[in-house]
Structure 1
Amino acid sequence: MRAVLCGYYGMGNGGDEALLATLLQLLPMSVTPLVLSGNPQETSQRYGVKAVPRKSLAAVWSALRQSQAFIWGGGSLMQDTTSAINPLYYGGLMKLAQWMGLRTIAWGQGIGPIHRRSSRWITRWVLQNCDAVSVRDGASAQLLTDWNIPCQLAPDPVWALKSSHLPGFADLHSPRVAVALRDHAQLTPERLANLTKAIADFQTATQTCVILLPFQPVKDSAIANHIAQHLNGHHEIIQVDNPDQLKGVFRSIEMAIAMRFHGVVMAAAEGCRCFAISYDPKVTQIMKELSLPGWGLSSTDPLPLIPNDAGTMTQQWLEHYANGEGLSDVQVRSHIDRALLHAAVIQKVLTKSTDNL
């Protein structure tokens, strides 16, 4: 059978590419994937799958017509914080697939934040008619419970992504600290200046090699370049296009300072100490779940507010670097095993669909 995979794919975001790589890793062997992508050629070459333009109505219609299943492939697709169009685009495709009789799965989802009544209505409408729903956090599970929609709760699927070594990475100066920041309205110039000074002071105190990881280069590279210009010690800006190698980078990292959600996930999954900075409820959720130290950018966030001076930042990082610990092997294995529950959801629905063909 053939399944259409729909997500924020081919858009240069390392986290979403990791979700696609994980989904392809977990798909039953009997299922042939057809990916909706912002860069079909790149997606096809990287993963060895067929891909079509995600914004071409003719291509999407053709993909649905020749398929038996449709999968939202992870992430925060149904949210209207970044754009009010998101629920319309993803919800519209899910509803079209349902009208066409395809088996539909909302997989590894983080629902929200949803601010508009229309967005909530669309989200509830399409999820009610899915053959299966799996979510990655307790808040999403609670929302669906309130809507009387059954779902499987499990950690983000990327916990289960198999990691691999990045060629040449072991040759870099050690010990290493990774920094994965992103552009955001609440990361003001003043806060970025403080963070930059704090990272430079931290490096001076620890003599570490700072690895700057732009998860989405179009949004993250400017910050990475800015920080690099203020570092006197060993540092590298590394853009990793292969998701399993991106995750593998954290194998050889002593500590991560991560703002990107999947930067936090990958660091934790590889047993790396992690200090997080939250710009979104999804980051706050995983910080609370894993008891990670860190700050929030918003005064409404339940986390401690990011300090307004570099010295306090540096001191807290030094404390975590010296005395903090990553997750134990048992904790990591538990999260990976539970993340595989997302695979069980797919297996159940698609095996049933195959049996009925």
Structure 2
Amino acid sequence: MVTGVEKQSFRIVISGYYGFYNSGDEAVLRSILLALEEQSKLAGVRIIPVVLSGDPAWTSQMYGVESVHRMRPSEVWNALKGSDGLVSGGGSLLQDATSAKTIPYYTGVIKLAQWLRKPTFIYSQGIGPVNRRWMDPLIRNVMRKSAYVSVRDAESAELLGRIGVPKSRIEVVPDPVMGLPLPASAALSCETAATSADKLPVLGVSLRHWRKDEEDLSRAVDALAELASRRAVRLRFLPFHTPDDTKTSELVMERLNGRLGSHGSIAELAAPGDDPQQMLLEVSRCDALFGMRLHALIYAANREVPMLGLSYDPKIDQFLHRLGLKAVGTTEHLDASVFADSAELLLDNAEGWKRDHRDAIDRLKQQSQQPAQQIVQLLRQNISR
């Protein structure tokens, strides 16, 4: 709120899948907070974030911000009532693939803010899939009444257009994590890593449980074993969502036992903790990355690490497409020989890959600040009226 000649200050509630120890979603939150901080400083104003979280105490400790419980209506109500606006995003919030409750929850938070006459801002969301048509009006209504709408890919914009949101109101921007910086301690950490006696090329591996029969994981094991049968490589498993991805990684490593060939390949599990920037640092140390998690691929692009994507959801293909890439396989089909050929090509010609994709990556990084910039401008305009 503004008083006299004091610096303009805005309390902004941020809604998303936060406080669940998912590195990708936590990276989204960290990126949004940093972008809002940077753009508010440039505009000469102050943003005070209030994050809706599944674990408010952890979120407050991790990011140094106010936080309230996302599932306690009175806390959400009070946070919104005392705010100057709501940021919803980023991530894949408006989809019904994981649960029929997801879209009603996130649109409900947005609608509550709008009932309280607070401006709402949709921040680089991935929309869909939406398989239940009765959810279309929920999305359409809150989008039409939002002060700003941005999505992270053209496919999301197309979906909103089909639902009935005017395309002229939708801005297509990158995922916020494209702008996430390395932690301040990165220089020292990288120096330590560089002096390691082990010189094996590092292939980062980010897998998640998807198929109930685990056939997708079996194909991934075969693919990694084929690569190890050809050359020595360090397979460094990166759990993006703990504890689930840790269990998946341990399962795959167990199945790889005895199949790592005679070249001296090894498999290991990284333990970067819950800080998304530490995971970004882990990815930056890889020579290439084999990723199933969307944000594993986004982290790799952020650090110009050559990547192979395994598609389980259209959002994987959509992101790869923005870099001019295609998935090496899907959860339904992954050819071990094709994978090994592709991985060897990346490990042997990383600089060529970087040259080919650097321009696209740089564009995404530059554009990642656009939502924060627009939101700060709109807040200032709203207050000055």
Asked whether the two chains share a fold, i.e. TM above 0.5, the reply is yes
**Structure 1 Cα separation of the partners of residues 195 and 124 of structure 2:** 35
What is the identity, as a one-letter code, of the residue corresponding to 2:106? Y
Computing the radius of gyration from Cα coordinates, the structure with the larger value is 2
- What is the CA–CA distance in structure 2 between the aligned matches of 1:63 and 1:169, rounded to whole Å? 43
Partner of residue 17, structure 2: 8
SS of the equivalent of 1:316 reads: helix
CA contact (8 A) 2:323 2:357 kept: no
Structure 1 unpaired stretches of 5+: 300-304
The aligned amino acid for 2:181 is: K
CA shift for structure 1 position 192:
1.5
Where in structure 2 are there 5+ consecutive unaligned residues? 1-9
Q: Number of aligned pairs?
A: 348
1:162-191 CA deviation, whole Å, 9 max, x = no partner? 1232846556534211001111127x4333
Residue 37 (1) aligns with residue 53 (2): yes
- Whether 1:340 and 2:369 are equivalent positions in the alignment is yes
Alignment correspondent of 2:204: 178
Give 2:145's aligned residue. Answer: 129
Residue 119 of structure 1 aligns to a residue in which SS?
A: helix
Say if 2:385 is the partner of 1:353: no
TM-score (norm 1): 0.91
Deviation at 1:135, TM superposition (A): 0.7
Residue in structure 1 matching 2:325, options 263, 284, 292 = 292
The DSSP-based 3-state class of the residue aligned with 1:31 is: strand
TM-superposition CA deviations, 1:245-299 (whole Å, max 9, x none)? 2122222211100000011111012111100001111101112221224244366
User: Which of 149, 156, 159 does residue 178 from structure 2 map onto?
Assistant: 159
Task: Return the alpha-carbon distance in structure 1 between the equivalents of residues 174 and 344 of structure 2.
Answer: 29
Tell me by how many angstroms 1:237 deviates. Answer: 1.1
**Distance in structure 2 (CA, Å) of the matches to 1:352 and 1:14:** 34
Q: Deviations over 1:85-124 (max 9, x none)?
A: 0111000010010000111001111111101112111111
Residue 302 of structure 1 aligns with which residue? none
> Residue deviations 1:301-332, cap 9 Å, x none?
xxxx423xx34433332234334613544332
How far apart in 2 are the matches of 1:296 and 1:120?
A: 31
Counterpart residue number, 2:220: 195
AA matched with 1:306: L
Kindly provide the amino acid, as one letter, of the partner of residue 154 in structure 1: V
- Report the CA distance between 1:156 and its aligned residue: 1.0
Q: 1:26 aligns with which of 12, 35, 50?
A: 35
RMSD between aligned residues? 2.1
2:256 counterpart of 1:224: no
Superposed counterparts of 1:266-277, under 5 Å: 266-277=299-310
Alignment of 1:200-219 (within 5 A): 200-219=225-244
One of 95, 112, 118 as aligned partner of 1:96: 112
Q: Matched residue of 2:87: which SS? A: strand
- Cα distance between partner residues in 1 of 2:194 and 2:89: 32
TM-score, normalising length from structure 2?
Answer: 0.84
Question: Residue 216 of structure 2 contacts residue 331 of structure 2 at CA under 8 Å; is this kept in 1?
Answer: no
Change (3 A) 1:329 1:290: closer
Displacement of 1:73 in angstroms is 2.2
- The CA distance in 1 between the partners of 2:233 and 2:329, in whole Å, is 25
Structure 2 counterpart of 1:111, from 113, 127, 147: 127
> Retained in 1: the 8 A contact 2:219–2:334?
no
For 1:4 and 1:312, the matched residues in 2 are separated by 46
C-alpha separation between the residues in 1 aligned to 2:216 and 2:275?
31
Which stretch shows the higher mean deviation, 24-33 or 92-101? 24-33
Change (3 A) 1:235 1:355: farther
Q: Distance in 2 between matches of 1:95 and 1:340?
A: 26
Residues 101/37 of structure 1: CA separation in 2 closer, same or farther (3 Å cut): same
Contact map agreement 1:67 1:102 (CA 8 A) in 2 = yes
What is the SS of the residue equivalent to 2:123? strand
